Structure 1
Amino acid sequence: MAEFLLRWLVNLSLLFSPFFLVQGWWLCRTIPRLPEADGPVRGRVPGRAPGFHILLIGESTAAGVGAASQKEALAGQLAKASAERAGCEVFWQVLGRNGLTARDACTLVAGSRVFFSPDVVVLVLGVNDVVRMRSASVWRKDLRALISLLRRRWEAVPVVLAGVPPVGLFPALPQPLREILGLRGRMLDAVSRSLAEKSSGVSHAAGPVGVHPEPEFFCSDGFHPSPVGYAIWGRYLAEVLVPEICMDQ
């Protein structure tokens, strides 16, 4: 029922699409375009015992926009939180690109070199699919295709779907565009949650979705997390990721 209501509200919002296009045009001209995080896209967090390997795939948040280095960005923060929670070393690698959609991620994975066999893959996607007005059915289809690709490459690797970021809370977005995109984000996140519930070896990690973040959660553009925000998000993801790995090993 909740997913149906979200879809109905989203469809209703399309009546105001010309106004939203104007707001979107204004937004593209005013939000500063920040670079992706600097530094190596793979690394190791030392620990007391042999550990596991995390592969993070996704959009600008995976690429670390809003942080100076990958260690301060989501990949490094997630690896650190996971190592602390599991009490072992963690190897990590990130495949991230600004503007990436779920469909684009298939191409990125197919053409990228991964330096280990991952024990878990974390997918951080959704904002670009929201902005590009992807429907629920297209989002579900693209996620399934990406998961199938990962399973063909690494057999039964566990997959964690990070919750679609809470677009409706982004300070950079004006109203009513913020509210409408927030509804679309919640709709896609409901699809992710449903897909995880019906798929073996796939989990959904809500993270900060639905939690009103403090101002310091965002970086200067009001759109991407700051290092503080990435640390909070990394801890949320680690709460789901570590038990999944420990049960599988």
Structure 2
Amino acid sequence: MLHQGISIMLAPVLLLQGLNVRRTTPKLAEPEGERLGQTGTNPELSVLILGDSAAAGVGVANQDQALLGQVVHYLRPHGHLKYGLFAKTGATTSTTLESLNDHINCSHPILGQGHFDIIITSLGVNDITSSLSCDKWLQQQAQLLTLITERYTPKLILVTAIPPLGSFPALPNPLRWSLGQRAKHFNHKLQQLLLMLDQQALDQQQIDQQQIDKQSKAQTRFTLINLPLENPQQDSSMVDFMRQVMATDGFHPGPQIYTAWAKLIAEQIQLRK
């Protein structure tokens, strides 16, 4: 692809810019707050969030403002729920897979649970800023989705798309452009993977329903979630808009993004009920 060729030619510049961004970007802490709990004595829905610093809520002060707290806020009116968050700054698809495999048959308070109705993932930024190829990343994503499907038998897995790195204020050009193009490419391939997995789930459900002697079971469905980031200000650039709604480091979500992200997730969950 054209952007790959240009990025190769710009490699020395991109490398220097990347090192400088890592050195100068402020390191924000993960927010305070509980990562495991429930809203009533008889939860009707269980939700797990897996992922990186964005999933962990970096960019806000506490979990109530972060993705987990906002998801709980929007789902609470529809019934009691149980929730868990397993996320870490710097996490990649590969390290998340390792953590899940390290906690097989264990008493981990979150990963050791046997079932979640809904699983939300947020992984890819740390993969994309490394030298990992898109094919390798897709392979890891497929492994992760297969593992959590088999282990937790969820009804729905909501996979968060890689955010628009091409609009991140913390990134200078041409690094911003290069990572933005790479993110678009990864997301396009991720969408294809999820469509394939979703079709396989539908096909399996039809097979189960046709077998009269076998009780039909609901198959896991897969949906890509694109962060609702649209610039409502005609007279300002997307980068300027992102500077207003992102955290102070120009790299993580701010409260507005977490709220919009959680609202979209809650809407998808209600649609699939």
Tell me, yes or no, whether TM beats 0.5: yes
Match of 1:206 among 215, 218, 226: 226
Q: Does the alignment pair 1:100 with 2:97?
A: no
Cross-structure match for 1:82? 75
Identity of aligned residues (%): 28
- Cα deviation, 1:73-108, whole Å, max 9, x if unaligned, reads 111112222334xx2223221110111111111112
Q: Indicate how the Cα distance of structure 1 residues 103 and 26 shifts in structure 2: closer, same or farther if over 3 A, else same.
A: same
Give per-residue Cα distances to partners, 1:51-90, cap 9 Å, x unaligned.
3111000011011111111121111112222334xx2223
Of residues 5, 9, 12 in structure 2, which corresponds to 1:15? Answer: 9
Q: 1:37 corresponds to which residue? A: 31
Amino acid aligned to 1:81: Y
Moved over 6 A (4+): none
> For the aligned residues, what is the CA RMSD?
2.1
* Aligned residue pair count: 236
- 8 A Cα contact 1:216 1:228, kept in partner: no
Instruction: Identify the residue that residue 185 of structure 2 maps to in structure 1.
Output: 187
Q: 2:264 aligns with which of 215, 223, 236?
A: 236
* Letter matched to residue 141 of structure 2: L
Structure index of larger Rg:
2
**Residue identity opposite 1:223 in structure 2:** F
Normalised TM-score (structure 1): 0.87
Q: Separation in 2 of the partners of 1:92 and 1:50? A: 9
Counterpart among 248, 253, 258 of residue 225 in structure 1: 253
Q: Which ranges in structure 2 are unaligned for 5 or more consecutive residues?
A: 199-220, 232-237
Amino acid paired to 1:203: T
Change (3 A) 1:43 1:116: farther
2:205 maps to which residue? none
Q: Distance in 2 between matches of 1:168 and 1:206?
A: 15
2:115, 2:151 within 8 Å by CA — same for their partners in 1?
A: no
What are the Cα deviations for residues 153-203 of structure 1, in whole angstroms up to 9, with x where unaligned? 123542111111111111111111111101111111111211111113211
Rounded Cα–Cα distance in structure 2 between residues aligned with 1:54 and 1:156 = 9
Distance 1:91 1:58 in 2: 18
Q: Partners of 2:24 and 2:269 in 1: how far apart?
A: 36
Q: Distance in 1 between matches of 2:5 and 2:157?
A: 30
| 217-226 or 231-240, which deviates more | 231-240
Gaps of 5+ in 1: 1-6
How many Å separate the matches in 2 of 1:214 and 1:16? 25
Specify whether residues 26 and 116 from structure 1 end up closer, same or farther in structure 2 by C-alpha distance, changes over 3 A only: same
* TM-score, with structure 2 as normaliser: 0.79
Matches within 5 A, 1:62-211: 62-84=55-77, 87-112=78-103, 113=108, 114=110, 115=113, 117-155=115-153, 157-200=155-198, 201-208=221-228
